[in-house]
Amino acid sequence: MEENLSKTQLENLSNEILHEIFVYLNIYESFQIFFHLNQKFQNLFLLSKNFFQVDLSNLTKVSLEQNSHEFFQSTIHQINSLYISNTFIINSIISSFNDPKLFLQLEILYLKNLNLNESEDFFNYLCLLPKLSSLTIYSINDYFIKTKIFRLSSLKYCKLSFIDENSSHGKILPQVTTNFSPIEHLIIDSTVCLEELLPILSYVPNLRLLYLLTDKDDKYLKAQKWEHLIKYDMTHLRIFNFQHQHKIPMKYPETCRQLIERFSTSFSTKRKWFFTHQHYQLEDSNSIKVSEESNSFEQCSILDTVLLCKKSIQDGLFSSIKPFR
């Protein structure tokens, strides 16, 4: 009797509240629990006008194998964001759905810890999605990904992070002068050399935000080259978030001050782009002295002692300062 009463009370909740419950529980798990209870719950999934944010990143392979096909068949037109960290799901999508009209509402796609070397069909499928505007990829192979993402015709935001930073084996994309990508926000959260970056930037002339994490290649510290590149090839760039870790020369701090000065031209200050340089000097096994110099009028030079992991006494970090514009 109590069980029936409880079920009746749940069914009497408004569709809006039930939707919030589904989202709170995880829409995929909610589907598993409620979909086969009765027609009302089935209609909530099949006829819903709400968009679903689907996170499959923490589910077991057994759970995915049992229910993913039915779930996608039933909800695919309501999914506007999808988080995947299992190759099985990608293979399932490709093998189950050949209709390019599917996933018509998908705007955000997050792929983590995937080896996409052999996912040609998957990227061909992504090219058919008219609303896919945000793509985040954590992958093993970088060169394969770079050759595919610029074909996505609706993409505005792209974040790339590669597990194996040596996976490209020196392969560099060809530069382009036509068929540009619409990407406006590009985040490369892995070390790339300048020779790799320049062709990538040729695909994205409409960039408004560029985030770079670089290492060792001190060609990145040539201020005039950046100025020329931004002035003529990235004319829409407004936010420049740049971090470069490098080895400190023997003449520190004179050389570091010169570096700050090179990036302190009217070109940068007009755009309110300011930069700082930190020098890590090992004092003992647990303590590192951090010396920082900046060309920002809002941030004075500082000298502080912080607890960090062991670091080479020659390490330095040159970076932009918030708000990067």
The model's confidence at residue 185, banded by pLDDT at 50, 70 and 90, is very high
Compute the average pLDDT of residues 205-212.
92
Residue 37 reports pLDDT greater than 80: yes
Tens digits of per-residue pLDDT, 39-98?
Answer: 888 888 888 888 889 988 877 777 777 778 788 888 888 899 999 887 777 766 666 555
Count Cβ atoms below 10 Å from residue 174 Cβ, excluding itself.
8
Identify the pLDDT of residue 309.
30
Compute the average pLDDT of residues 278-285.
56
Count Cβ atoms below 10 Å from residue 236 Cβ, excluding itself.
12
Q: Of 93-102, 167-176, 179-188, 232-241, which gets the smallest average pLDDT? A: 93-102
Identify the pLDDT of residue 289.
43
CB 221 within 8 A of CB 258: no
85 against 168, higher pLDDT: 85
What percentage of the chain carries pLDDT values higher than 70?
71
Average pLDDT of the chain to the nearest whole number: 75
Tens digits of per-residue pLDDT, 298-315?
Answer: 333 322 222 233 334 456
Identify the pLDDT of residue 69.
78
Residue closest to 152 by CA, chosen among 111, 181, 184 = 181
Count Cβ atoms below 10 Å from residue 307 Cβ, excluding itself.
7
In our burial notation (b when 16+ CB lie closer than 10 A, e otherwise), range 176-213 reads eeeeebebbbbbbebbbbeebbbebbbbbbebbbbbbb
The model's confidence at residue 117, banded by pLDDT at 50, 70 and 90, is low
309 against 146, higher pLDDT: 146
Identify the pLDDT of residue 92.
66
Compute the average pLDDT of residues 269-289.
64
Count Cβ atoms below 10 Å from residue 251 Cβ, excluding itself.
10
